[in-house]
A = this chain, B = another copy of it.
Amino acid sequence: MKKDINAEIISVGSELLLGQIADTNAQWISQNLAHMGINVYFHHTVGDNYDRLKSVMELADRRSDLVIVTGGLGPTEDDLTREVGADILSQQLEIHPQVLTKVESFFERRGISMTENNRKQALVFKDGKVFPNEEGMAPGMFVDHMQKGWIFLPGVPREMKSIFSKSIIPFLKERYPFKNQIVSRVLKFIGIGESILEERVSDLIRTQTNPTIAPLAGEGEVTLRLTAKAETAEEALSSISNVQEQLMQRIGDYYYGRNDETLEQKVLEMLKSHSYTLASAESLTGGRFIDQLISIQGASDVIAGSIVGYQTKIKENVLHIPDSLIKKHGTVSEQCAREMAEQVQRKMQSAVGISFTGNAGPDASEGKPVGLVYIGLKIGDQDSVVKAYQLNGSREKIRQHTVKKGLEWLFYSLKEMPEK
């Protein structure tokens, strides 16, 4: 069919509105619909209340071509989705024999007498289609209502996903023989501000419609999501690649990876390809820098270790920073950062030594303002280099941002080096 399908997802359950659980169903279904080329325009969550649920379904009937309702198909009196659905879609409810048998035998097997309300789970729409639920009681259902498709699924994620994967996806592909596949790719950039990056490509962001280019806010980095629609995944990918090339010509210098690739992985790969080992000396970052690298599998090939010298005496006794240097310049200083990087490289006999010292707050110390951070870097027998940063935000944010800055600097330093 030529026309785009505009879908909406309705999640039913008071526990969602009380914040007791997060609505992961809507996200999961949205991902799957996107891949089938179905636009999701709305998520709507409503509690177990007849009138409000009815108003939400009526709205969906007016504005969407395909409505997917999850939740409210259970046995309790709170579960109203069937009743409201029958009302809105002028459907009758009838007992589905096989489902009833299934529910009954479930209780028999457990030697529990089945209560009347459990029969409810076998109620289906008279003119609807029924999709078996291999993980639970209530089946999935489909109703065609004036050219609009209505799908009903249980709210338990395991049951919903099972029915959706086994039955709904094939069913939708058959009902809507899409000309469209949607594919997206995330490009990740570091070392350039969100606004500057966007300025450089704003004309592409504005003019590109397929793929579309959407900037996403990241933690100390910038990402662009390219989403393409085409008859085949291959076509979509190639149009993504074309636009990616144009983007790379302008901001390729700041590109570090795509999709799930992380800066930590990239740095680790680069260290490997240079057959470098790395050691860190950490004060305000408190071991977080090395932890984030060690989190990655295979880190042991390149990550030697770290000396976390949080208290000054450790900087003196373990890292052997001359106490005269600390007296003169303080621990939050270019000189201390340089010495820390050189000392840890020496002590751990690593190719790379990187150091972090600064004031994460909450108060000024040594007369140094909150957010003043020094990162020292010593690679091989090159002279050590120290960079100063003035970061802001909470203690947590400053510490995390410092780690990111260290990764960013390492990334660019290693990038510029000829591989062995």
Q: Are A23 and B17 in contact (CB under 8 A)?
A: no
Given A287-B282, A287-B306, the answer on whether A42 and B43 have CB atoms closer than 8 Å is no
Tell me the smallest distance from the CB of A66 to a CB of chain B, in Å: 13
Given A17-B40, A21-B27, A27-B19, the answer on whether A305 and B318 have CB atoms closer than 8 Å is yes
Q: Which of A74-82, A88-96, A230-238, A377-385 sits within the interface?
A: A74-82
CB neighbours of A313 from chain B (8 A): 304, 349
Q: Are A193 and B305 in contact (CB under 8 A)?
A: no
Given A304-B311, A308-B308, the answer on whether A78 and B291 have CB atoms closer than 8 Å is no
Q: Does A362 contact B (CB under 8 A)?
A: yes
Q: Are B299 and A310 in contact (CB under 8 A)?
A: yes
CB neighbours of A21 from chain B (8 A): 27
Q: Are B135 and A397 in contact (CB under 8 A)?
A: yes
Q: Are B27 and A43 in contact (CB under 8 A)?
A: no
Q: Does A112 contact B (CB under 8 A)?
A: yes
| Interface positions of A from 28 to 51, Cβ below 8 Å from B | 28-34, 39-47, 49
Which residue of chain B has its CB nearest to the CB of A282? Answer: B287
Tell me the smallest distance from the CB of A254 to a CB of chain B, in Å: 13
Q: Are B305 and A309 in contact (CB under 8 A)?
A: yes
Q: Are A41 and B52 in contact (CB under 8 A)?
A: yes
Q: Are B297 and A362 in contact (CB under 8 A)?
A: yes
Q: Are A17 and B30 in contact (CB under 8 A)?
A: yes
Given A17-B30, A308-B307, the answer on whether A195 and B117 have CB atoms closer than 8 Å is yes
Contact among B11, B288, B308 with A305 in the assembled complex (CB-CB below 8 Å) = B308
Q: Are A195 and B118 in contact (CB under 8 A)?
A: yes
Q: Are B299 and A295 in contact (CB under 8 A)?
A: no
Q: Does A290 contact B (CB under 8 A)?
A: yes
| Interface positions of A from 147 to 200, Cβ below 8 Å from B | 156, 158, 162, 184, 193-196, 198-199
CB neighbours of A49 from chain B (8 A): 41
Which residue of chain B has its CB nearest to the CB of A347? Answer: B318
Q: Does A229 contact B (CB under 8 A)?
A: no
CB neighbours of A326 from chain B (8 A): none
Q: Are B311 and A305 in contact (CB under 8 A)?
A: yes
Q: Are B16 and A43 in contact (CB under 8 A)?
A: yes
Q: Does A14 contact B (CB under 8 A)?
A: yes
Which residue among A31, A43, A286, A303 has the maximum number of chain B CB atoms within 10 Å of its CB?
Answer: A286
- Bound CA span A32–B42, Å: 24
Q: Are B303 and A20 in contact (CB under 8 A)?
A: no
Which residue among A19, A22, A134 has the maximum number of chain B CB atoms within 10 Å of its CB?
Answer: A19
- Bound CA span A409–B340, Å: 32
Q: Which of A210-218, A244-252, A268-276 sits within the interface?
A: A210-218
- Bound CA span A287–B309, Å: 12
Q: Does A325 contact B (CB under 8 A)?
A: no
- Bound CA span A296–B46, Å: 36
CB neighbours of A118 from chain B (8 A): 195
Q: Does A364 contact B (CB under 8 A)?
A: no
- Bound CA span A135–B394, Å: 7
Q: Are A290 and B308 in contact (CB under 8 A)?
A: yes
CB neighbours of A32 from chain B (8 A): 19
Contact among B11, B287, B309, B392 with A288 in the assembled complex (CB-CB below 8 Å) = B287
7 extra interface residue pairs, beta carbon distance < 8 Å, beyond A19-B30, A317-B349:
A11-B43, A17-B43, A107-B193, A115-B199, A279-B314, A303-B310, A317-B347
Can you name 17 A-B pairs with beta carbons within 8 Å? A19-B28, A20-B31, A23-B23, A41-B52, A59-B59, A76-B194, A109-B390, A109-B392, A117-B195, A134-B393, A286-B299, A287-B291, A288-B291, A290-B308, A295-B399, A305-B308, A317-B348
Of all A-B residue pairs in the complex, the 4 with the closest CB atoms, nearest first, are A287-B287, A286-B294, A19-B30, A19-B31
